[in-house]
Structure 1
Amino acid sequence: MFGAAHYAAMAVFAVACWGVGRSLLARIGAPGRRDAALEAAMAAAAGLGLYVCVFQAIAIAGLFGRGAVVGTVALGLLAAVLQWPAWRRERGPRLPSEPFGFVEKLALVAFVLTALPALVEPLAPPAAFDELMYHLPYAREVLQSGRLGVHEWLRYPWFPYNYNLIHAGALAVGDDVLPHLLSALAGWLSVAMVYRLGAQHASRLTGLAAAAIWLGIGDYESALIDISVALFVLAACTALWWWRESDDPARGARWLALAAFFLGVAAGSKYQALTVLPLVAVFVVRRERRLKVWALALVCFLVPCIYWYARNAVMTGDPFNPIGARLFGFTNWNAADYKNQFDDVRAHAAWPNGFLWGVLFAPFALAWKRSPAVRAAAVFSLYSLGVWALTSRYPRYLAASVPLIALVSVVGWQALLARLADGLRRALPAWNARGLLDRAGRWLGVLLLLVGVGGSFYMTRRSVAAIATTPAERAAFLDAHVPGYAVMNYLREHATGRVYQIALSEAIYYGPAPVWGDAIGPWRYADFIVLPPAEFARKLRGLGFEAIAVGASAAPTLAAQPGFLDHFALMYEKAGAKAYRILPAKND
Structure 2
Amino acid sequence: MSPIMQFALFHYLFIVALCLMCFIIGGRITVHFNYHSFWERFSLSTSLGMGLLAMMIYFLGLLKGLYGRILVPVVLAMLIAAIATWPGLLKVKIDVNRFKAILLRKIKATTAIWMAIIAIVVLITYMLPLYPPTIWDSTAYHMAAAKIYTQSHGLVFTHYLRYPVAPQLNQMLFVGAFVVYDEISAHLIVYAMFILVACGLYAFSRRYFSPWVGILSSALWLGSPLSVLYGTVGYIDIGLTLFSFLGIYSFINYYQTDESNWLWLSGIFLGFAAATKYPALLYVLVCGLLSLWMAFKKRDFLIPVKLGIAILAIAAPFYIRDYYYSGNPFFPFFSNIFYQRIWNEADVVSFVSEQSHYGMPKTLLSLVTLPWYIIIKPGIFVSGLGDKLLFSPVYFLAFPSILPTFLIRKTRLLSIFTASFTLFWFGTSQVIRYLLPAIPLLAATSSIAVYYLLHLVEGFLSRWDRVYTIARVLRPIVITVLALVILLPSLKYGQESRKNSGDLPITPTERIAYLQRFLPSYPAYQALNGKLGDNYSLYALKDENMAYFANGTFMGDWFGPARFSQVMNKLDDDTLLYKELRQLGADYFLININRVGPVPEVLLTSPNFQMVDQANTYIVLKLVISP
User: SS where residue 294 of structure 2 aligns?
Assistant: coil
Which residue does the alignment assign to 1:170? 177
User: SS where residue 619 of structure 2 aligns?
Assistant: strand
User: SS where residue 355 of structure 2 aligns?
Assistant: helix
User: SS where residue 553 of structure 2 aligns?
Assistant: coil
Which of 537, 540, 544 is the aligned partner of 2:581?
540
Which residue does the alignment assign to 2:524? 487
1:21-100 equivalences under 5 Å are 21-26=26-31, 29-31=32-34, 34-79=36-81, 81-82=83-84, 83=86, 94=102, 96=106, 98-100=108-110
User: SS where residue 323 of structure 2 aligns?
Assistant: helix
Q: Please report the TM-score for the alignment, with normalisation by the length of structure 2.
A: 0.81
Q: Which amino acid aligns with 2:605?
A: L
Provide closer, same or farther for how the CA distance between residues 514 and 457 of structure 1 changes in structure 2, counting only shifts above 3 A: closer
Provide closer, same or farther for how the CA distance between residues 462 and 397 of structure 1 changes in structure 2, counting only shifts above 3 A: same
CA deviation profile, 1:104-131 (whole Å, cap 9, x unmatched): 95x7765544333332211111111111
CA deviation profile, 1:73-121 (whole Å, cap 9, x unmatched): 32344356554976986997546565359xx95x776554433333221
Query: CA RMSD of the aligned region, Å?
Result: 3.6
The alpha carbon displacement at 1:57 in A equals 1.7
Provide closer, same or farther for how the CA distance between residues 362 and 453 of structure 1 changes in structure 2, counting only shifts above 3 A: closer
Which residue does the alignment assign to 1:524? 563
- Supply the distance in 1 between the matched residues of 2:136 and 2:423 (Cα, whole angstroms): 28
- Supply the distance in 1 between the matched residues of 2:612 and 2:497 (Cα, whole angstroms): 39
- Supply the distance in 1 between the matched residues of 2:66 and 2:490 (Cα, whole angstroms): 45
Task: Determine whether 1:322 maps to 2:332.
Answer: yes
The alpha carbon displacement at 1:324 in A equals 1.9
Provide closer, same or farther for how the CA distance between residues 185 and 457 of structure 1 changes in structure 2, counting only shifts above 3 A: closer
CA deviation profile, 1:152-200 (whole Å, cap 9, x unmatched): 1111001111111111010011111110011222222121011121222
CA deviation profile, 1:302-329 (whole Å, cap 9, x unmatched): 2222122123334433111111212213
Q: Which amino acid aligns with 2:433?
A: R
CA deviation profile, 1:215-268 (whole Å, cap 9, x unmatched): 233222211111111111111112212222335xxxx33321221111111111
Contact 1:235 1:259 in 2 (8 A): yes
CA deviation profile, 1:199-225 (whole Å, cap 9, x unmatched): 222222221221122223322221111
Aligned pairs, number: 568
Which residue does the alignment assign to 1:392? 429
Percent identity between the two aligned chains:
20
Contact 2:244 2:437 in 1 (8 A): yes
**Which stretches in structure 1 are left out of the alignment for 5+ residues?**
none
**Which stretches in structure 2 are left out of the alignment for 5+ residues?**
1-5, 361-372, 375-389
User: SS where residue 286 of structure 1 aligns?
Assistant: helix
Which of 392, 406, 426 is the aligned partner of 2:443?
406
- Supply the distance in 1 between the matched residues of 2:49 and 2:482 (Cα, whole angstroms): 40
Q: Which moved more, 1:487-496 or 1:267-276?
A: 487-496
- Supply the distance in 2 between the matched residues of 1:443 and 1:35 (Cα, whole angstroms): 21
Contact 1:191 1:211 in 2 (8 A): yes
Contact 1:19 1:79 in 2 (8 A): no
Which residue does the alignment assign to 1:8? 13
Provide closer, same or farther for how the CA distance between residues 24 and 463 of structure 1 changes in structure 2, counting only shifts above 3 A: farther
User: SS where residue 548 of structure 1 aligns?
Assistant: strand
Contact 1:384 1:401 in 2 (8 A): yes
Contact 1:113 1:453 in 2 (8 A): no
Which of 577, 585, 593 is the aligned partner of 1:552?
593
Task: Determine whether 1:376 maps to 2:417.
Answer: no
- Supply the distance in 2 between the matched residues of 1:560 and 1:326 (Cα, whole angstroms): 39
- Supply the distance in 2 between the matched residues of 1:408 and 1:443 (Cα, whole angstroms): 18
The alpha carbon displacement at 1:570 in A equals 2.2
Which residue does the alignment assign to 2:379? none
Task: Determine whether 1:220 maps to 2:201.
Answer: no
Contact 1:483 1:504 in 2 (8 A): no
Task: Determine whether 1:313 maps to 2:352.
Answer: no
User: SS where residue 177 of structure 1 aligns?
Assistant: helix
User: SS where residue 342 of structure 1 aligns?
Assistant: helix
Which residue does the alignment assign to 1:286? 293
- Supply the distance in 1 between the matched residues of 2:324 and 2:625 (Cα, whole angstroms): 41
Contact 2:402 2:445 in 1 (8 A): no
Which of 117, 122, 126 is the aligned partner of 1:115?
122
- Supply the distance in 2 between the matched residues of 1:44 and 1:109 (Cα, whole angstroms): 21
- Supply the distance in 2 between the matched residues of 1:392 and 1:420 (Cα, whole angstroms): 40
- Supply the distance in 2 between the matched residues of 1:422 and 1:550 (Cα, whole angstroms): 68
1:210-289 equivalences under 5 Å are 210-215=217-222, 216=224, 217-218=226-227, 219-247=230-258, 252-288=259-295
The alpha carbon displacement at 1:536 in A equals 0.3
Contact 1:364 1:412 in 2 (8 A): no
Contact 1:160 1:270 in 2 (8 A): yes
Which residue does the alignment assign to 2:381? none
Q: Please report the TM-score for the alignment, with normalisation by the length of structure 1.
A: 0.86
User: SS where residue 7 of structure 1 aligns?
Assistant: helix
- Supply the distance in 2 between the matched residues of 1:54 and 1:221 (Cα, whole angstroms): 24
